[in-house]
Every structure is written in structure tokens, then in C-alpha cells.
Amino acid sequence: MEQFKKNMKWRVNLVYICTLLVAMAIVFRLVFLIWIDGDRILESSQARTTRTVPVEAIRGNIYSSDGNILVMTEPIFTVRMDLHHTVVPQDTFNFHVQALADSLSRMFPQRSSAEWRRSLTEARNRDLGINPNTERHRGRGSRDFLIARNIRHADLQRIQTFPILNRGRHRGGLVVEESSRRRHLHGELARRTIGHYRVIPDGDGAMRSYSVGLERAYNDVLRGHSGLRHERMVANNVWRPISTDQQDPQNGMDIVTTIDMRLQEVAHSALSRALRNSNASHGTAILMEVSTGKIRAISNLQRNERTGNFHEVENFAVNESVEPGSTFKLASLIAVLEEGRLDTGALVPTGRMVVGDRVMRDVGEAGRRAEAVTLKHAFELSSNVGLAYAARQTFARNERRFFDHFQRMRLHLPLGLEIPGERNPVVRTMEEKRQDGVWWAGSLEWTSMGYEVQMTPLQQLAFYNAVANNGRMVKPMFVEEIRRSGRVVERFEPTVLERRIASERTLGQVRASLEGVVLHGTGRAALSRSPVRIAGKTGTTQIIQNGVLTGHRASFIGYFPADNPQFSALVIVSNPSGPRFHGGEIAAPVFREIADRVYATHLNLGTELQVRRDYETLQLASNGERTERLLEIKETARTARTVPNVRGMTAQDAVFLLESLGYSVMLNGRGTVREQSITAGTRIAPGQQIWLRLS
């Protein structure tokens, strides 16, 4: 018995000692965890339950000079449905699933109502484990059933009214993911020059941006600066923002382009029609303000070989460097006249001339007449022989000076456009031609008629614009202002590239010759009856590849009114099909259509002034007079069949007015109307959509 008590006492003591040691170990571990390793554990826990995510800034808008929104950042939404039984009760699902399927099929008719119901039911059954071989999907497929991707806000609002989904996130399973995209509000108009901005995945799964045109040139201005948001996980993969230490994004600034949408539409439609009628491959039309170099319209259209339609794909105005052909004769004429040995009254031959081992021939009237005419008339008739003869007579003893004149006119240098991709002109000196191995006995004559040189359309237009601008060459402008929240941050002024490309005497003679092209020469048939006086030059270039003639390039470059130039313009049509391919036949009619419409638009200022008066009157009206005044503006707009000016109106007034005229209205922001996507005074068909930006 005594031995038993000793054994028990020893066992009890052993248990006590073990318990004490375990307790001490626990205490030691707790002390270690709290005082020594506590910070590391806390950081590890926070790393798993908190995160910092970037908050993307809203990219700035791009505007036309007349106040239209050209490109804006539009919110888009991906809609999913959580069909888990803990979110959508079984009786609710069974009772409303058919009505939901009917609503979805009406909105997304790619699937029938039966197909929608079957997809919803299958996703639901995956959660309940009803279907065979779905155990591995349990609770997954039902929680992210895809309804639609990349829909607009108006479509989201409609979906939010559908059965079951109208109960919201926690009772109806509606899951909405918001993102954004850039939206061109005017379709193809100036699309390639404005450019585009896209975010695309790279090979590593990360996202990178890709942009062209003005979107790329002013990316640093438009993109803004991203912010940071701290979030904490409150449930399984459910995150909520933490209010402290949040860095708000700084939204991008807006840019105001030089493009006038009324003039852009004129240039685009005229060029598009000419390309279709001539079955051409592509073409370019540019309208520039003479004194400032502001590009008021620019259209680059290329035919889709599969569909036959024309789209803005490449910016030919900036990056297509080609032989200009007869439009370069203006530079040759200036070089001849600057020497002072000949004037435009000098007699020169036409018809045919041997140059080295080649024969140069005239076409059209100059080729048929084959007689001596004045240098001015040779230019008007676009005589290759007449200009080449004048150049040879002037520079026979010093051919180098002929090519040096082009350097003095700044034809050998790029314009330095802000839009990336400008090709360098190829206008070589005599030494450079020899170094490059392209010099031959007829280089002077062939260069005089626009071959062995290469220029982009914008470089050619800038040269003609300088002639219209009293010899002052200005850099083409695409952007007038940078704004933040409507306030001007930076305003751009014209940049002078060359103060005078030729003497006043020479400029007077070439301006008379350019007007003579329209009155007496190759532009007479298409342009002489225009209500506005036009001066310019036709061009027809042979496109030769590997020694084989593959097509022609028809062009016309000029300015108007000839006696007081306000605008210069260029039209190039490449590879027209059929018997008509000369510049006077293909390009000049497009130029006339643009000039006539611009001239008529700028003479008709009454509509714009009336719109301004309407706005001012509405601002001064009392509450009792407002409805009556709105009705008056509505009647004026209805009679004129034009869009009224709603800037400064409340959203309610603006929506009432525009919808009563039959337009579809979309709002962006809150407050009063700051911008409207379609300018007041524009004629559009009822049913067209108008975006209003509020602030």
C-alpha cells in the first residue's frame, strides 16, 4: 500500500511538472509572438487581408475647334449574375426565371428565350449539384454567370429592371464590373488623325497602352495621373475600401483641336464620293487656314478590298512620301523666276523635247498644240517641256543653283509635326544626288516636273500655303488649346518655319500663274465656274514600280479666295480606275466642292449669331418665361431643321428641348450643360444621338 502511494505521488508530480512545463512553453510562446515576432505576424496578416490597388485617372476628352466632343472616355460595364442558392432563393429563381429569360432574349436576341433559360438553369444546377459530373464546379459556375460584356450605361439601367436582377447584388445576384473605353463620337471623321488609345495585354499578361495620332502626341496631357486606394478583405475575396491614406487620381486634361467638324464633314464626304466614283485605292483631302496653319479638315480614306468601303486606316497626309508630279512645277517656276533671267512672259516650247537618252512629251492641250507659248501659259497648261526648257535655259551653266533654290524654300526639311510618323522629304542637292548615285544628264529636267523628289501631302500643302501667305511658311497646327475643367491651361500660337520663301516680285508672278491655271488652263473645266475665286495647280503622277506603270496619282493643290486667301487645300486621289485619271478631272472637282461649301458656310453667319442670341435670352429669362422661351427656341430649331444651342441650360431643359425635336440624348456628369457633341446650327436627322457634358 505504501509502495502504491509512492508510485501515485511520483505520477502526480510528473503530470504536474509536465503541465507546468507545457504552460511555461505556452506563456513563452505567447510572449515571443506578442513582443518579439508580433510585428512580423501583423504585417503578414495585413498582407493577406489588405491591398493597394491603382485608381485609374479618367482620360481627357478631345474637342473640335467649334466645340464638338470628338473623343471621350465612356464607362462600360460587364454584367454577371451570382446564382448561388444563398443569394437567390430557390422559390424566387423558379418563379421568375422564365420572365428573366424573356427579358434577356429581347435585349440580346442572339439567344432565344429557351436558350437563356437553359443556360441559367444549368448554371443554377451546378451550384445544387443536380447535374452529373459537376461536383468540381460546385459553387463556382453559378457565382459568375456572364450576361453581357462591355455594355453602355443605358443598357445597364435596362438590365437592372429585369426580374430577379432588380433585387440588387445581395438578393438578386447582380454583379457589375465597371471599366472604360475611348469612344469616337463622329465615326470615321478625322479618325486617323485624332488617333486611338487602347490598353492591350502583352506577352507576360501585363497591360500596356497603344496609341497613334493626337492620342499619342498628347498622351502625357490626356492620361492624367493614377491614384491609389487601400482595400481590406471583409469576406472571401470581397474587398472594401479603407478610407484612410487614399490618393485620389488626377484626371487628364482636355485638348481642343483645330478641326472644324462642319468643314471636316464637307471634306470627308467630297473625298469619299470621288474615291467611290473613280474606284480609287485611297486618297487625302486637307483644308488649312492660310495665316495660321490651322488644319480645319483632314481626311485619309483607304478602300477595303473585301467590302469596297472606304475607311480611315493610314494617315497618308503625314506619312505617305511620294513623287508629287506636276504640282512641284510651282517650286521649279519660283526657282526660275528668282534667278531673274526669265519672267512669265518669256516664250518657251511645248510638245516634245529630247532629254539625254529619253524623250519628254506633253499631254493634253500642250501636247496637241506643240507651239511656243509664254512661260505663264506653259505653267497653266502644265507643260512638262515648257518648264523643263525654262529650267535648262536658266541653269545650264550652273545646275547646282537650281537644286539649291529648293533648300532656300525649305522643301528639304520635315515640318516637325507633333503627330508622330512624318516622313522626311527627299529633295536632294546636286552633290547629294551624285553621292546617292541617282544623278544623270536629265536630272534637272525630270526634277522640274516633279519626279526624283518625294514629299508628303502636308509638306506640299505647307509650301502652297506659304505662297498664299505672302511667302511666309507656317507649321501646320492640329491643337489650339489644352484645358482643365474648361479653363485654358495652354494656348498654342502659329509657328513660322520660314519668313519668306521667295521675293515679292516672284510671288506676284506665281500667284497670277496659279490663278491662270483655273481661268485658262488644266483647272478651267472643273473650277472656273466656282462662286469663289480659286488659284492652284493640277498634278498627274505616273506610279511606276519595277519599271512598270501601275497607276496614276491625281492631285490639286491651291487656295481661295485667290485675291484674299483664307484657306489652302489639297486633294490627292491615288490609283483611280478608268479612262479619267488626270488631276483636273479627278481631284479638282473635289477641291471645288470643298471650296464652294466652305465659302457658303463662312458667308452664312446668321444661324450662328441667332443661336448665340437664343442662349443669351434664355439666360436672362425668369422662371415664368423659361418654358415659353424654350418653346420659341424649339420652334426656331424645328423650322431651320438644325440643332439648337443648349449650353448653359439645366439638364432638364436641355433634354426636354432636344427630345421634343426627336433627338436621342445621353448625359455625362451633373449640373448645367457645358458641351454638346453636335454643334448648334448643324443639320442632322431626327433620332440621331447627342451627348451632353454637364458640370
- pLDDT tens per residue across span 413-446: 999 999 999 999 999 999 999 998 889 989 999 9
pLDDT over threshold 60, residue 609: no
Distances (CA, A) of 258 to 190, 261, 518, 649: 11, 10, 29, 26
Contacts of 560 (CB under 8 A, 6+ apart): 532, 533, 534, 535, 566, 567, 569, 595, 598, 599
- pLDDT tens per residue across span 153-202: 889 999 999 999 998 888 888 888 877 788 888 888 888 899 877 766 65
The dihedral built from the CA positions of residue 273, 274, 276 and 281, taken in this order, carries a sign that is negative
**CB-CB contact of 334 with 466 (8 Å):** no
pLDDT at 46: 58
pLDDT at 105: 93
pLDDT at 635: 60
**Residues facing 676 on adjacent strands:** 692
Q: Which of 49-63, 96-110, 446-460, 556-570 has the lowest mean pLDDT?
A: 49-63
Higher-scoring residue by pLDDT: 265, 600: 265
pLDDT at 426: 95
pLDDT over threshold 60, residue 138: no
d(CA 524, CA 56): 57
- pLDDT tens per residue across span 500-553: 999 999 999 999 999 999 999 999 999 988 889 999 999 999 887 777 778 899
pLDDT at 129: 57
At 178, which amino acid appears? E
Average pLDDT, the chain: 84
Largest CA distance in the chain: 151
Higher-scoring residue by pLDDT: 287, 611: 287
CA 463 to chain centre: 25
Record the cell numbers describing residue 640, joined without a space.
Answer: 431651320
pLDDT over threshold 70, residue 240: no
Distances (CA, A) of 562 to 343, 375, 530: 21, 20, 12
Record the cell numbers describing residue 340, joined without a space.
Answer: 531673274
pLDDT over threshold 70, residue 631: no
**Average confidence (pLDDT) over 253-271:** 93
CA 341 to chain centre: 49
pLDDT over threshold 50, residue 562: yes
In the chain, what are the domains?
A: 54-255 (3.90.1310.10), 262-600 (3.40.710.10), 606-694 (3.30.10.20)
pLDDT over threshold 70, residue 632: no
**CB-CB contact of 573 with 585 (8 Å):** no
**Average confidence (pLDDT) over 550-564:** 93
pLDDT at 605: 32
pLDDT at 603: 45
Quote the pTM value. 0.74
pLDDT at 638: 60
d(CA 221, CA 227): 16
**Residues facing 104 on adjacent strands:** none
**Helix (H) or strand (E) run with residue 480 in it:** strand 479-484
pLDDT at 610: 42
Higher-scoring residue by pLDDT: 272, 126: 272
pLDDT at 539: 95
Contacts of 631 (CB under 8 A, 6+ apart): none
- pLDDT more than 70, % of the chain: 83
At 12, which amino acid appears? V
pLDDT over threshold 80, residue 467: yes
Q: Which of 33-37, 58-62, 222-226, 326-330 has the lowest mean pLDDT?
A: 33-37
d(CA 383, CA 557): 17
d(CA 454, CA 403): 14
pLDDT over threshold 60, residue 134: no
The dihedral built from the CA positions of residue 318, 322, 326 and 329, taken in this order, carries a sign that is positive
Please report, to the nearest 10 degrees, the dihedral formed by the alpha carbons of residues 371, 377, 383, 386 taken in order.
70
Q: Which of 233-247, 432-446, 657-671 has the lowest mean pLDDT?
A: 233-247
pLDDT over threshold 90, residue 620: no
3-class secondary structure for 463-480?
Answer: HHHHHHCCCCEECCECEE
Phi, psi dihedrals of residue 438, rounded to the nearest 5°:
-115, 5
pLDDT over threshold 50, residue 613: no
544628264: which residue's cell?
441
Q: How many CB atoms lie within 10 A of CB 577?
A: 12
